[in-house]
Amino acid sequence: MPKRAPAKPANAATKVGWLEHVDLPELGLTGEKAKIDTGARTSSLHVDRIEPYLDEAGQHRAKITKYVRQPGERRKAVHWDVEIRDFRSVKSSNGAVEERAVIVTMLKLGKIARRREFTLTNRKEMRYQILVGRKGLGKLFLVDPSAKFLLDEVPPPAKDPAA
Q: How far is CA 38 from CA 4, 8, 16, 97, 99, in A?
A: 33, 24, 12, 19, 21
Distance CA 159, CA 36 (A): 34
- Is 40 part of a structural domain of the chain? yes
- Give the CA dihedral 119, 122, 124, 128, nearest 10 degrees: -10
- Is 63 part of a structural domain of the chain? no
- Is 75 part of a structural domain of the chain? no
Other C-beta atoms within 10 Å of 45: how many? 23
- Is 69 part of a structural domain of the chain? no
> What per-residue confidence (pLDDT) applies to 157?
63
- Say if CB 119 and CB 100 are below 8 A apart: yes
Distance CA 55, CA 140 (A): 35
Burial 65-84 (b: 16+ CB within 10 A, else e): ebeeeeeeeeeeeeebebeb
- Is 95 part of a structural domain of the chain? yes
Distance CA 119, CA 133 (A): 10
> What per-residue confidence (pLDDT) applies to 96?
86
- Supply the range of the domain harboring residue 107: 15-46+86-144
Distance CA 79, CA 142 (A): 33
Taking Cα atoms as reference points, which of 117, 91, 81, 92 lies closest to residue 102?
117
CATH of the domain at 25: 2.40.70.10
Tens place of pLDDT per residue across the chain (163 aa): 556 555 555 567 899 999 999 999 999 999 999 999 999 999 999 999 999 999 999 999 999 999 987 777 888 899 999 999 999 999 877 788 999 999 999 999 999 999 999 999 998 888 999 999 999 999 999 999 999 999 987 666 666 555 5
pTM for this model (two decimals): 0.83
Total number of domains constituting the chain: 1
> What per-residue confidence (pLDDT) applies to 9?
53
- Is 51 part of a structural domain of the chain? no
- Is 117 part of a structural domain of the chain? yes
- Is 92 part of a structural domain of the chain? yes
- Could you give the residue ranges of the DSSP H alpha helices within 24-76? none
* Intra-chain end-to-end CA distance of the chain, in Å: 29
> What per-residue confidence (pLDDT) applies to 2?
56
